[in-house]
Chain A
Amino acid sequence: GEDVEQSLFLSVREGDSSVINCTYTDSSSTYLYWYKQEPGAGLQLLTYIFSNMDMKQDQRLTVLLNKKDKHLSLRIADTQTGDSAIYFCAEIGGESQGNLIFGKGTKLSVKP
C-alpha cells in the first residue's frame, strides 16, 4: 500500500534555514503537498508541487522533488519563531484515487 514517511522532529535557530524531508512509495502520485498545523488548529496548505516538476519556489519556501528517489523536501529560508508547527507531507493520485495520504508530521521547533 501507499506510505509517506517523515522524520518526527527538527530543531533550528531563528534565522537559519529549515529542511524537512519526506519519502513516499506511490510512484504514480500526481501531486505532493506540504501542510502546516499550528497548535490546536486544523491543517493549512502551504504549497504543492506537480509530479512533473523538480522544484517550486514560493517566497521563503522551496520545494524539491526527486521523483526517481521518491523524495520530497521543504526548505524554509530565514526560519522564524512563527514557523514553529507540525509540517505534514501528503501525496495524492495513483492507488489512493484522489485521496490524500499523509505522513506522520515533522514537528519544527524554532529557538530564538
Chain B
Amino acid sequence: NAGVTQTPKFRILKIGQSMTLQCTQDMNHNYMYWYRQDPGMGLKLIYYSVGAGITDKGEVPNGYNVSRSTTEDFPLRLELAAPSQTSVYFCASSRKYGQGRETQYFGPGTRLLVL
C-alpha cells in the first residue's frame, strides 16, 4: 500500500492563479481530511469528507473548495490564490471517525508559496 499520496510536492503560484492539490489514498478509508500548517503552528482543518459525495467545512474553509467523487480521491481547489494561502497542506485519511487507534494517516504534504 502506498498510503496517502499528494501531488505536487511544491508549487509557486502568482496571486489570483488557481490550482488543485491532489490527494489519493489506497486504504479504502471512508474519511478524508485537508489541513494546512502555517510556520510554527499546529494543523488547522480546512475541509473533510465522511464518504464519496459528502464533504463538510472545517475550521478554515474560506478560499478553498473540495470534491469527493470517489473513495480514493479528495482534491483541494484554490480558485484565487492569495499570499495568506502560503502554507504546507496535508491530506489525511482514516477508517473510522476519531476513535483511538483508528487514527488519521497523513500524506507527505504539499508546500505552496503564493507570490
Residue numbers of A with Cβ under 8 A of B are 4, 8, 30-31, 33, 40-45, 48, 50, 88, 90, 92-93, 98-100, 102-105
Contact = CB atoms under 8 A, between A and B. Distances in A.
B50 to A, nearest CB: 9
Interface size class of B (residues with CB under 8 A): 20 to 34
Interface of B: 4, 40-45, 48, 58-59, 90, 92, 97-101, 103-109
B72 to A, nearest CB: 18
Contact of B43 (A43, A44, A50, A93): A43
Contact of A102 (B42, B48, B101): B42
30 contacts: A4-B42, A30-B98, A31-B99, A31-B100, A33-B103, A40-B109, A41-B108, A41-B109, A42-B92, A42-B107, A43-B43, A43-B92, A45-B104, A48-B100, A48-B103, A50-B100, A88-B42, A88-B43, A98-B98, A99-B59, A99-B98, A100-B43, A100-B45, A100-B98, A102-B42, A102-B43, A102-B44, A104-B40, A104-B42, A105-B42
